[in-house]
Amino acid sequence: MTIDVHGHVTPPELLKRFPMPASLGDVEGMIARKAAAGIDLTIVGSPVGVGTMVPMPGLDNYDQPADRIESFHEWLGETVRAHPGHLRAYAYVNPYAEDDHLTRVAKRLQQEEFVGLIVNTSVRGRYLNAPEAEGVFALAAETGCPILLHPPAEPVGSPALNGHLGMIEHVARPCDITTGVAAILFAGWLTKYPQLKLIAPNAGGALALLREKLDLAWHRTAGPPSGPPSGRPSAGPPSPIAEQLRRVRVDTATPSRLALAAALEVFGPGGLLFGTDSPPQAAPVEQALDLVDSVARDEQERRRIREGNARELFGLTGTEGT
């Protein structure tokens, strides 16, 4: 059995309103394609609520009426209930919402269909290191629900790319994951809420390659006044940032074997979760499975990445996929 922690679905009315891949509305087709490849369960959600991941002039994904988000969550819950052996869901959260948004999301997490939260790594150009973002981390800690830290439709710096959708999707969004997760670590949310379960998609962006740089940044801002000698990491115990980074999970939704191998080295076999970002990603899911198999060092490690880590993290019982 394999569990995919990163998939997306969209209600029919949003597909009519926005230019999005039709695969987002083909729930039965997704289930069938994945089942044929041995992927039995997918955790699905929307990183934009009732918006779209395609940047559109004049559209603000964060200006969403509460009743429309409630309607989306109702549809999502119904979709999971229609396919209980193959689907679970993330509840969408805007961490900077000013209404009773978090209260309503907390109620969703009481439903067995919802097993986690999906939150953008930046919101309107703001990372999640501001005090106003604490509510979502407190909620996740209280409920024990993992947070999928998904990049937004318009990541930080995207206006400077002049609408180049390929650059936004494949360069700016992984960079938003990288900086967004780093901002969370430096804000101290994992220190204040040590029970947090954070998932960085796309193999964590570039986090695996920046472990030592994060240490240097920590020493510069919070370490001894003199800093490490000659700009090198301290030979002593790991810095709090290095310790925290090891506690972040990453999914395998990347086409790069090099990135996945680096993630396995930095986050460890217990820190990787199988994910495809499909739908909407069009690459055959078999490629994602083959990539995991190519970096796993033995059968036990392969099973942990494909299934075991997700079961433990999300509290799945073992009956899914039947």
Question: Could you report the per-residue pLDDT of 29-47, keeping only the tens digit for each?
Answer: 999 999 999 999 999 999 9
Q: pLDDT of 155-199, one tens digit each? A: 998 889 888 888 999 999 999 999 999 999 999 999 999 999 999
pLDDT of residue 235: 43
Q: Please state, rounded to an integer, the average pLDDT across all residues of the chain.
A: 90
Q: pLDDT of 187-240, one tens digit each? A: 999 999 999 999 999 999 999 999 999 988 888 765 444 433 344 444 444 567
Domain boundaries, the chain: 2-314
Q: 230: which residues sit within 8 A by CB, 6+ positions away?
A: none
Closest CA to 19 of 63, 56, 69, 50: 56
Global pTM reads 0.92
Confidence band for 105, pLDDT divided at 50, 70 and 90: very high
pLDDT of residue 42: 98
Confidence band for 299, pLDDT divided at 50, 70 and 90: very high
2-314: CATH topology is TIM Barrel (3.20.20)
**Helices 240-247 and 257-267 sit at what angle, rounded to 10 degrees?**
120
Q: 295: which residues sit within 8 A by CB, 6+ positions away?
A: 257, 260, 261, 264
